[in-house]
Amino acid sequence: MNSLSRRALGALALALPAGASRAQATWPNRSVRVIVPFTAGGAADSAARVVTPRMAERLGQSLLVENRTGASGSLGGGEVARATDGHTLLWDASSHIVNPALLRGLPFDYATAFAPVGLVVLFPSAVAVKNDFPARSLQEFVAAAKAQPGTLTVGTQGNATAGHLGLIAFMRRAGIDVVHVPYRGGAAAAQDLAAGNVDAVFTTLVSAGPVVDGGRGRFLAVGTLERVSSRPDVPTIAEQGYPGFASNEWAGLFAPAATPAAHVQALSDAMVAALSETPVRERLVQIGCIPVGSRPAEFARFLAEGRAEMAALVREANIRAD
């Protein structure tokens, strides 16, 4: 998991090739649906609502974000895999590379049902605790967990999500045992933290940020190898005794596999152009994202490596879908 995060952080710098053209005049010829298979207000949804309006201006048609939750993101994924209208896209996250190893009987193959458009953003993971939790540092949290093995509760954005896998990796590294509490999205986990119903969360900065900013929780660490510019006072997990540890969620854009190459290229150009705009980048950083903007070929390699790595982690940790 750590190596995947480092590879993601080393993704290509944004660069719109000279001579790149906007979408063909005949496509898109109406509004484009962008299916986000996660809850509204979570990390993936928040980033989509920042980037897609600027993409729409480049494409000349509206991009309408729709949340289709359920079955670890596979319901929304399946809807896009079956789409034949040429105007339906998928804005997916790490479940895209975890679900093939986790879910049985899927009516589509994640590896072949989609045309990768690009890795859009990374979402740094974060450890946050409820206000009345006594730990003021990650070291103190680990000490509390070791003093009460199998007692402390830690929420994530769901079973087998990046937060869950990151939590497992950290538990192994720190030698602790906590109770995993899965939610239907990072926003839901963060809200339960605010209500004091869980001791901590291992989710994204985007999801936990509003709760912390509202004074209803505290960050202990971020999962990037270097501190995040939007939260410079929050130390990394790596610098608090776990060198090299990194854990990040991501969001990428996909089209159905049968999408013409010219349309995929047009989408890629629009995405990269949107991410090159200073207001877009600043807003993404402000809410806790790291803009990436890789091209289809590199994103395809990222996905292939990720599927292999996540399959091994799911197998080794004996993670189940329910």
pLDDT digits (tens, 9 = 90+) for 34-55: 999 988 888 889 999 999 999 9
Does a structural domain hold residue 322?
no
Coil/strand/helix, residue 265: helix
Tell me, what CATH number does 141's domain have?
A: 3.40.190.10
Residues spanned by the domain of 62: 2-122+250-317
What crossing angle do the helices spanning 296-317 and 2-9 adopt, rounded to 10°? 170
CA distance 310 to 307: 5
Tell me how far apart the terminal alpha carbons of the chain are, to the nearest angstrom.
21
Residues 165 and 78 in one domain: no
Q: Is residue 63 within 8 Å of residue 88, measured between CB atoms? A: no
Does a structural domain hold residue 235?
yes
Query: What's the chain's average pLDDT?
Result: 90
Count up the domains in the chain and report the number. Answer: 2
Residues 312 and 215 in one domain: no
Coil/strand/helix, residue 63: strand
pTM higher than the cut 0.85 = no
Q: Is residue 118 within 8 Å of residue 272, measured between CB atoms? A: yes
What's residue 322's pLDDT? 63
Tell me, what CATH number does 48's domain have?
A: 3.40.190.150
Angle at 49 between CA 43 and CA 52, to 5 degrees: 125
In the chain, % helix, strand, coil (3-state, to 5) comes to 40, 20, 40
246-290 pLDDT per residue, tens: 999 999 999 999 999 999 999 999 999 999 999 999 999 988 899
Top-confidence residue, 4 or 114: 114
Residues 90 and 160 in one domain: no
Q: Is residue 37 within 8 Å of residue 148, measured between CB atoms? A: no
Does a structural domain hold residue 245?
no
What's residue 75's pLDDT? 96
For β-strands 88-92 and 217-222, DSSP reports them as unpaired
What's residue 7's pLDDT? 46
